[in-house]
Amino acid sequence: MDDIISQGGDREPSRWPRRLALIGAPIVLAVASTVYLSVARHPHYPAAPPTPVATAPAGAGSAVPALAAEPDQVGGPTLPWAGDLRLPVAGTRPAWFSPATGRSTPIGGLPADSAGYQFTRADGGWVVQASSGGETECGDCARPSLPVWFLADGARSATRVGTANQATPAATAGAVWLTSYPPTADPDTAARTAREVSLAGGPLGSPVRLPTGYAVYQTTDRGLLLAPVSQQPGPPAFKLWNPTDPKASRTIDEVLAASPREIAWTPPCAATCRVDLLDLATGRQTVMDLPAGSLATGAVFSPSGDLLALQVRSGGGGGPAIRLEVGSVASGRLTAVPGTSVGSDALIDFGWPTSGDSLVAQFTFPTNVQLASWHPGATRLAAAVVRPGQDQVSLVVG
């Protein structure tokens, strides 16, 4: 933040925040149909619908059955997966997937779409938007507006909200920000207009025109956090922008994660790196110091805002390259998530897919794909194997 964060200092650049996989899709899909991040992440839309296949959960205190020794599974003994925790599957026919049983239940209200869907976590559910399915008729012009729905946690059916080029959950429950721009506009210079609407599609305020070259990354209690549409040399410069007072905007480099009330970023570092956090309401800052030789390459705040899950990358030495840690927003203290030290390509995605503080991660190993769940204070993971036949890349974990 230009009045808070010190600038300068060379370091290995961290990757762009995980949410850019979602806001970047409406932008980059103008020229390509798939968005990939630099650390083995998948956008939340699949190639094929899921096939229900039963999966037996691991027994308490035992390793996941029929798996080879590490590194072909999450480390250590595991627990059974909670039977009431379900994950969306963003397939051509979206469904709820139960890791405890391996069974899928179709989600109503979302018509079959060969391009699949994108799911964005919101308060009490998910904002869902159809994917574009590839290039538009005019080649590399911007994609058209596409339908947007809201899916409440555990609901059998989704509710239509409207159409937009991009949909972003509002800072408060029960609303969505819809962003649109002309279908023939250059996506890098398009005049984007955003408007907050209710889950029934009714307007909740006047539309606002976003600064040129920016899209909504996160809505906050202090305005819209905007991300640059195209990456320029140097760290990406995010903008905390209040439509009612644009001159009061603040620039933030290297944003790692954001929530309606908090922003986390990675300041320049050398041998030792850290994550800085800002409480937008109080102005209070917290520092999370990382072990020497480690760098945070991804993060996401818990629904309560009290915790920050971090993907931490360690330097060489032949050991595990990636691990998950959870930090306290109040104290900055980090806690390693047990069993999550894996190779650099094994961690696919992670997040908080329910209203409670249960962290879920997806891993891919040479012999299997696993889902793991962890609640703060637990000494073991709950784990489940995603059997062949399930559409593994379309699972949404947060």
**CA-to-CA distance for 18 and 38, rounded, in angstroms?**
10
Spatial contact of 340 and 361, defined as CB atoms under 8 Å apart:
yes
Per-residue confidence (pLDDT) for residue 316, from 0 to 100: 60
pLDDT band per the 50, 70, 90 thresholds, residue 23 = low
Residue 152: CB atoms within 10 A of its CB come to 14
Q: What number does CATH give the domain 20-394?
A: 2.130.10
Which tokens sit at 84?
Answer: 């009431």
Q: In this structure, which amino acid lies at residue 106? A: P
Q: In this structure, which amino acid lies at residue 12? A: E
**CA-to-CA distance for 54 and 365, rounded, in angstroms?**
20
Per-residue confidence (pLDDT) for residue 17, from 0 to 100: 53
Spatial contact of 100 and 116, defined as CB atoms under 8 Å apart:
no
Name beta bridge partners: 226.
216, 239
Residue 169: CB atoms within 10 A of its CB come to 21
Q: Label residue 111 exposed, middle or buried (CB < 10 Å: 0-12, 13-18, 19+).
A: exposed
Sort strands 381-386 and 78-79 into parallel, antiparallel or unpaired.
parallel
**CA-to-CA distance for 260 and 172, rounded, in angstroms?**
8
Sort strands 214-220 and 285-289 into parallel, antiparallel or unpaired.
unpaired
The count of residues in the chain is: 398
pLDDT band per the 50, 70, 90 thresholds, residue 167 = very high
Name beta bridge partners: 127.
120, 150
| pLDDT tops 50 at residue 188 | yes
Among residues 307, 350, 365, the alpha carbon closest in space to that of 21 is found at 350
**CA-to-CA distance for 157 and 111, rounded, in angstroms?**
11
Per-residue confidence (pLDDT) for residue 135, from 0 to 100: 41
| Strand arrangement, sheet containing 237-241 | 214-220, 223-228, 237-241, 250-253
Which tokens sit at 120?
Answer: 């964005």
For the chain, the domains span: 20-394
**CA-to-CA distance for 176 and 122, rounded, in angstroms?**
9
% of the chain with per-residue pLDDT over 90: 53
Among residues 335, 339, 370, 373, the alpha carbon closest in space to that of 353 is found at 373
Average pLDDT, the chain: 79
| Strand arrangement, sheet containing 117-122 | 117-122, 125-130, 146-152, 159-164
- When mean pLDDT is compared across 7-16, 276-285, 355-364, the lowest value belongs to 7-16
Per-residue confidence (pLDDT) for residue 67, from 0 to 100: 31
Per-residue confidence (pLDDT) for residue 227, from 0 to 100: 94
Q: Cis bond leading into 228, ω under 30°?
A: no
Q: Which residue has the higher pLDDT, 9 or 368?
A: 368
Q: Which residues contact 151 (CB under 8 A, 6 or more apart)?
A: 88, 107, 109, 110, 119, 125, 126, 128, 157, 158, 159
Per-residue confidence (pLDDT) for residue 391, from 0 to 100: 57
Q: Which residue has the higher pLDDT, 211 or 47?
A: 211
pLDDT band per the 50, 70, 90 thresholds, residue 73 = confident
Per-residue confidence (pLDDT) for residue 388, from 0 to 100: 67
313-348 pLDDT per residue, tens: 987 655 568 999 999 999 999 999 999 999 888 999
Mean pLDDT of 80-91: 90
pLDDT band per the 50, 70, 90 thresholds, residue 376 = very high
% of the chain with per-residue pLDDT over 70: 76
**CA-to-CA distance for 294 and 278, rounded, in angstroms?**
21
| pLDDT tops 90 at residue 18 | no
Q: State how far Cα 156 lies from the chain centre.
A: 23
Per-residue confidence (pLDDT) for residue 249, from 0 to 100: 85
pLDDT band per the 50, 70, 90 thresholds, residue 44 = very low
Spatial contact of 225 and 210, defined as CB atoms under 8 Å apart:
no
| pLDDT tops 60 at residue 250 | yes
Spatial contact of 337 and 326, defined as CB atoms under 8 Å apart:
yes
Which tokens sit at 136?
Answer: 């538009």
